[in-house]
Structure 1
Amino acid sequence: MGRGRAKAKQQKVARELKYNAHFTDLDALQRELGVADSVNGVNGAHAPAQDSDEDEYDDWTGTER
């Protein structure tokens, strides 16, 4: 029957995670996950979009503009 103390601790931790704002170091997370800058662009920017004249489904339909 000693589950009361463990449950109280779990509730305390869950409450802290829910209500306390924690600083997340995104650069450290990126390094830890091994994400390359070339994939995300510089400073997390998205890769450039495709040229609007090219349709990504042209290869599937057999039609080209």
Structure 2
Amino acid sequence: MGRGRQKAKHTKIARELKSYSPSVNYAALERELGHHEGGEDYVDKWADQYDDEDEDEEQGQYSAV
């Protein structure tokens, strides 16, 4: 018996999502995605916190032999 109420709720949410248009800061998005006009090199700010996966795999292969 609750199917009508559930369908109405989904319809309401779908209409809200359809008309939703968030404001987007395209300049900040472009900077974050890495569009460089000045020729800057990419620097991974998280690289120091994690080990490289390739090094772990190579060590595992040679130690098993």
Q: Is the TM-score greater than 0.5?
A: no
Q: Pick the structure with more helix per residue.
A: 2
Normalising by structure 1, report the TM-score: 0.32
State the TM-score, normalized to the length of structure 2.
Answer: 0.32
